[in-house]
Structures are given as C-alpha cells and as structure tokens.
Amino acid sequence: MKSRETLIRLKRFQVDEKRQQIVDIESMIADFERMASDLEQQVKSEQERAGISDVTHFAYPTFAKAALQRRDNLQASIDGLQGQLERAREDLAIAFEDMKKVELIEERETGRERDLVAAREQAELDEVGLTIHRQG
C-alpha cells in the first residue's frame, strides 16, 4: 500500500515536472519572438534612416545586417524550441496516462478493500443476528 502511494506521488511529480518544462519552453519561445520582433523594428528603422532597404546594396547599414543575422539566429532557435515543445507535450501526455493508470489501480484496490471490509462486517452482523434468532 505504502509503495503504491509513493508511486502515485512520483507519477504526479513527473507530470508536474513535464508541465513546468512546457511552461519554460513556451516562455523562452515568447521571449525569443519578442526579441526577434524588436530586431525587426530596429532593422526597419535603420533602413529608413539610411534610405536603403536592399540587403545586397554595397552601402546597406552594417548594423541592419547584424540585426538581421541575430533575428535569423533567434528564429532558428525558436524553430528548435518548437520541436522541443512538441516532444515535451507528448512526454506530458505519456506521463499523465501513466499517472492515471496508477491512480485507477489504487482506486480499484481501495474499492476492493472497502468491499471486503463491508462483506466481513455484514457477515459478522449476520452471525450476530443468527445467534440472537437461535437464542430467542
């Protein structure tokens, strides 16, 4: 009984851990998207200031080129995190299923034990009733 309770606590901990991983990854993605958006605005501002929007132009601002490269790197990181997020969600679903299986087993066992106790109590009451009936 005690080991099953420990197993249930472990499974719940694993589910909570997977949920936290998802929150962390989603937070990182949001931060990276915000940074990429800021870089995009900086590039537009620099292009307007220089009057050149053609990246291949010889006088294209160096800062804008560097910002575009950083934005592209952030997007690559976002893409990688999206894959991690998908795997983390799959892991959460598996961990949740495992937890539910253990909880259902515990619930069935607890129900069986209650049924056994109730049956014993009923048998004792029946015995008492028969004893009183025989004496009367």
Question: What burial class does residue 9 get, using C-beta atoms within 10 Å of its C-beta: 0-12 exposed, 13-18 middle, 19+ buried?
Answer: exposed
Structure tokens at 136: 């009367």
pLDDT in tens, 106-116: 888 887 778 78
pLDDT in tens, 14-50: 999 999 999 999 999 999 999 999 999 999 999 999 9
Structural contact between residues 93 and 15, judged by C-beta atoms closer than 8 angstroms: no
Mean pLDDT, rounded, for 69-79:
98
Of 39, 33, 11, nearest to 78 by C-alpha is: 33
**Packed helices 2-50 and 62-135: angle between N→C axes, nearest 10 degrees:** 160
What average pLDDT does the structure give for the chain? Answer: 92
pTM over cut 0.95: no
pLDDT in tens, 46-66: 999 999 999 999 999 999 999
pLDDT of residue 1: 55
pLDDT of residue 128: 80
In angstroms, rounded to a whole number, what is the distance separating the alpha carbons of residues 89 and 96?
Answer: 10
* Separation of CA 121 from chain center: 45
